[in-house]
Amino acid sequence: MSLGLLVIGLNHSTAPVQVREKITFPGDGEGAVTRMIAEVDGIEETMILSTCNRAEIIAIADDPSSAGEGLIQAIGRIHGISPDPIRPHLYFKEDLEAVRHVFRVASSLDSMVVGEPQILGQVKEGYKRAACVNATGPILNRLMHRAFFTAKRVRSETGVGLAAVSVAYVAVELAKKILGELKDKAVLMLGAGEMAELAARHLSTQVDKPIIVINRTYQSACNLAGLLGGSAIEMEKLDDGLSSADVVITSTGSRDPVILSDQMKRIMRRRRFRPIFLIDIAIPRDVEPEVNEIDGVYLYNIDDLQAVADENAGERHQEALRAETIVAEEVTKFMNWTKALESAPTIVALREKLEGIRSAELSRCNGKLARLDPAEREIIEMITRAIINKIAHDPISFIKQSGTRARRNLSLDMAQRMFKLDGFVSTLEPGEEERTENEPHHRNKR
Amino acid sequence: MDLLFFKIAVVLYLGASVSYLAFLLVSSSNRAPVGFWCAALGFAAHSLSILHRAIFSGFFPLASAFDVVSLFAWFVVGLFLLMRYRDPSPIFGSIAVPLASVLMLFAASFSYQIKQPLLPIMKSWWLPVHVILAVAGNGVFALMAIGGLMYLVQEWLIKTKRIGRFHRLLPSLEILDTINRRGLSLGFFLLSLGIISGALWAGSAWGFYWSWDPKETWSLITWFAYAAMVHQRVALGWRGKRAAMMAIFGFGLVMFTFVGVSALLGGHHAFGTTGKGITGP
């Protein structure tokens, strides 16, 4: 029996950046776009997940195989493009595969940088937006909560998120291990380069103080400082800068080292031995390697950082394997839950059938009952309802109480054949089966 | 029944040690809840044991080597648990809890029977004041030394660019140096008060404050070592690696004064010797 779950989307491994940057679901801040998707024919529940490496629609559909086409057309409409060029980059996942995919995405196992922590927040945001515009329903609610739970387990039970794997991130983590909290620390940028700017930008999200920029030409230092929201000082004041900074990123084009060992020893006394973290991104190097031997000075060059990142990536891979088993466990749990739901449509169909018989029989006798006054007619209604409820009671409890999956299958099959319930389409609803008919987002087709 | 709580505490500390060491060797996430709860429950049992001994002896239970070493372990675990509030890295427990376990077993190697009748000098209120201050100071120095050891390892890992699992398990150099700074001021304060209270006790009991008993001499040497550390930190701005090495060296002196002097040099602090009749360090 199908769950009706469908994931359709593209990510960093199926689509180049030129395609990814086109599919961003703009204007979904308030969930308006999610609402549009929810309105597509045959879609019961939906949410959008959009990050810089991924664009996905997660949906519950009547008929997942035909709903896919409607969703692709909707993606085209929303972005004002023809959907055909993106078609080859899309992946479609249904039911079991889709559940696994959603859990893996939330746990950051499907990310470009496996274990990066932002994805969970982005999934939560997408879900919240969808919930705000009533685009989610019982299945998606359950699915997403289990996805968050899985992500939490992966985070706390494995080391997938612990090791930094990008150079800039490694630098920030190292700075924290040396200096503690970075909020009140000072960052000095010596020289202007693309890599250095990237690292400085990464650091500036952690640091409250404005970044100090020094460059051979004062004017370009000022320009860069303007871009980074920092301030510039002259090259002559390098020693002052080194005395007050806690993290220094160097990337000058100089052919000889700019920071020398003897100079640094002098500066450390001036700093009263406060530790300092030097990141040398320049090639050839800006800082004499001997500087690393000075007490309280920690020098890393670009190769050192890259080596750490590579080693971490290997370690992360090991942890990711353990995370996959957790995901597999949680997928199984979720699928078991969906199976427990399948008695619901049978029960509904059974009730519908009996109610149909009752009202048909009553209206057949309408003429004979015409002379009864309204109060007496009401009593007849009550009695007949009570009779069918009593008849339905035992088979319904039989269906509900059948323990194992196999026995439940058998009893459902039996009930459907005994009461000739074929032709009904599955209805899925969590929790109380009786509520099915009143829920706004259910999918009943009889 | 005499040592029921003590035995429970020993078992729990040993369990916590195993758990923390397992954490150190194999854990991939930065959490060790089993070790922490074992240590916390062990600490509760240990506290009950001390309380029980106090009721049993009718006085502060500090008149035997057993009780004093046990109190030392109690301070080590107590301070560790207190610190876990501020710094959530459990690796500290991988050293502090086994250390406490060893101290507990060491305590158990002494007789827990209190010699009766107690000498009159032991019934003074100076006894708990002096012993608690001195032992609390030792406890602080112990954690400071553990912090120092961790600092040296972490610093070496960063300097030699061995950025792996151990590096991530260890706290930042900043936190470890803060432990050194706070520990130094608190420990030095307690040690000073411990020595002063001992002198006052001697003064009130025997009429002289200082008698160059070996324990007194070595306490003074220890005091000078820590005074030098305070000076280096405050006046010269020493910190980090040098401060960490000093903390380990200082704790070596503390342990020698605490255990070695009594065992090797005797004097009126010696455990269980006749001397002038005082037991306890």
Is residue B130 helix, strand or coil? Answer: helix
A103 close to A150: Cβ distance less than 8 angstroms: yes
Query: Which residues numbered 144-173 in A keep a CB inside 8 Å of some CB on B?
Result: 156-159, 162-163, 170
CA angle A93, A97, A100 (to 5 degrees): 120
A51, containing H or E segment: strand A43-51
Angle B261-B247-A181 from CA coordinates, rounded to 5°: 155
State pLDDT tens for residues A168-223.
788 888 999 999 988 899 999 998 777 777 778 778 888 888 889 998 888 888 88
Q: Does A279 touch chain B (CB under 8 A)?
A: no
Q: What is the pTM of this model?
A: 0.68
Could you report the predicted ipTM of this complex, rounded to two decimals? 0.84
Whole-number pLDDT of residue B180: 92
> Which residues does chain B have within 8 Å of residue A274's beta carbon, measured at their own beta carbons?
239
CA-based nearest residue to A315, from A325, A303, A307, A327: A307
CATH of A167-308, one of 2.60.40.10, 3.40.50.720, 3.40.630.30, 3.40.50.300: 3.40.50.720
Distance of CA A94 to the CA centre of its chain: 18
Tell me how close the Cα of B32 comes to any Cα of chain A, in angstroms.
11
Separation in Å, CA of A335 to nearest CA in chain B: 28
For A281, the 3-state DSSP assignment is coil
Cross-strand partners of A91 = A9
Which of B159, B164, B172 is opposite residue A176, by nearest beta carbon? Answer: B172
| CA atoms of A105 and A99, how far apart (whole Å) | 10
Question: Is B239 in Cβ contact with A178 (below 8 Å)?
Answer: no
Instruction: Find the CB nearest B29 among A159, A308, A311.
Output: A159
Name which of B174, B175, B246 to mutate to probe chain A: the one with the most chain A Cβ atoms within 10 A of its Cβ.
Answer: B174
Name the residue with higher pLDDT: A369 or B48: B48
> What does the alpha-carbon distance between residue A252 and residue A250 come to, in Å, rounded to a whole number?
6
A59/A127 Cα distance (integer angstroms)? 11
pLDDT category at A428 given cuts 50, 70, 90 is very low
Predicted confidence band at A407 (pLDDT cuts at 50, 70, 90)? low
- Is A311 close to B163, i.e. CB distance below 8 A? yes
* Residue spans per domain, chain A: 5-157, 167-308, 341-438
Binning pLDDT at 50, 70 and 90, where does residue A427 land? very low
Nearest to B240 among A156, A295, A307 (CB): A295
Q: Which residues of A are catalytic?
A: 52
**Helix/strand/coil percentages in chain B, nearest 5:** 75, 0, 25
Q: Give residue B201's pLDDT.
A: 85
CA dist., res. A28 & res. A127, Å (int): 12
Model confidence band, residue A444 (pLDDT cutoffs 50, 70, 90): very low
Report residues of chain B scoring pLDDT below 50: 271-281
Q: Which residues pair with A278 in a beta bridge?
A: A248, A299
Q: Does A311 touch chain B (CB under 8 A)?
A: yes
| CA quadruple A80, A82, A85, A88: dihedral, nearest 10 | 100
- Tell me the pLDDT of chain A averaged across its residues: 82
Check CB contact under 8 Å for B158 and A296: no
Q: Does A315 touch chain B (CB under 8 A)?
A: yes
At residue A333, φ and ψ (nearest 5 deg) are -60, -45
User: What's the gap in Å between the CA of A143 and the closest CA on chain B?
Assistant: 26
Name chain A contacts of B174, Cβ cutoff 8 Å: 178-181, 275
pLDDT, tens digit (0-9, with 9 covering 90-100), for A8-65:
999 888 888 888 888 888 878 788 888 888 888 888 889 999 887 889 999 988 777 7
Residue whose pair of structure tokens reads 């709903």 in the numeric block: A67
- Joined tokens for residue A414: 């039996």
Residues 45-104 of A with CB under 8 A from B: none
Write phi, then psi, for B110 (nearest 5 degrees): -90, 160
C-beta atoms of A307 and B161 within 8 A: yes
SS percent in chain A: helix, strand, coil, step 5: 55, 15, 30
* Alpha carbon of B101: minimum distance to chain A alpha carbons (Å): 28
DSSP, res A22: T
How many whole angstroms from its chain centre is CA B124? 24
Q: Which residue of B has its CA nearest to A319?
A: B28
Task: Note the residue count of chain A.
Answer: 446
CB A34 within 8 A of CB A133: yes
pLDDT digits (tens, 9 = 90+) for A225-240: 888 888 889 888 889 9
Taking contacts as CB-CB distances below 8 angstroms, the residues of chain B near A154 are none
Our CA-based measurement puts residue B238 at a distance from the nearest CA of chain A, in whole angstroms, of 7
Q: Give the pLDDT confidence score for residue B118 in this predicted structure.
A: 63
pLDDT of B120? 66
With beta carbons under 8 A apart, name residues in chain A contacting B240.
273, 275, 295-296
- Amino acid making up residue B101: S
In this prediction, residues A289-318 reach a mean pLDDT of 88
**Cα–Cα distance, A40 to A61 (Å, whole number):** 10
Hey, what are A80's tokens? 């004002």
Q: Give the CATH number of domain A5-157.
A: 3.30.460.30
Question: Do residue A275 and residue B30 have CB atoms under 8 angstroms apart?
Answer: no
Instruction: Enumerate the domain spans of chain B.
Output: 1-112, 136-281
- Return the number of other C-beta atoms located less than 10 Å from residue A62's C-beta: 16
